[in-house]
Amino acid sequence: MTSTVKYTGQLRTLATHKASGAQIITDAPTDNHGKGEQFSPTDLVATALASCMLTVMGIKAGEEVDLEGTVCEVQKIMVSEPRRIGEIKVRLLFPKDKVYTDKQKIIMERIAHTCPVLESLHPDLVKTLEFQWP
C-alpha cells in the first residue's frame, strides 16, 4: 500500500505515506467551495509533474551534471465541462551560476519529457514545458 487518505471534514483530507509516515493535507480550492489553505488535489497533480521531472533529471545527471538549485515554476489551468486540469505549465529555471553543454541540455530536456508522471497524464491534457538555461 502506498498511502491512506482520510476525509477530515470541511472539504479537507489528510494523506499519510505508509512507508515514512509523512503527511499531506489537501483542501478544496476557493473557487470550488473550499478554504484553499493547503494544496488542492489538482495542485498536487501539477506539482507532482515538476517534482518527477526534477527527480528523473537528477537520476540521469548523477555526478556529471549539477542540477542543484534548479527550480520549477508550476501553473495549473483548470477548465470546465467537465471540471478538470486543462493545462499544466512548468518553467524549469536552471541556476545562473552554472554552465551546461549543449549535449547536457538536450539530454536533460529529453529526460524531463519522459518522466513517469508526464507519461501517465491524459493525452488531452496540455503539458507546456519551458527550459530556461543560463
Q: What is the pLDDT of residues 18-69, one digit of tens each?
A: 999 999 999 999 999 999 999 999 999 999 999 999 999 999 999 899 999 9
Q: Which residues contact 122 (CB under 8 A, 6 or more apart)?
A: none
Q: Which residues contact 16 (CB under 8 A, 6 or more apart)?
A: 3, 4, 5, 6, 22, 23
CA dist., res. 54 & res. 88, Å (int) = 15
**Domain ranges (residues) in the chain:** 1-39, 41-132
What's the pLDDT at 36? 94
- In CATH, the number for domain 41-132 is 3.30.300.20
State pTM to two decimals.
0.94
On the 0-12 / 13-18 / 19+ scale of CB atoms within 10 A, 101 is exposed
CA dist., res. 95 & res. 103, Å (int) = 17
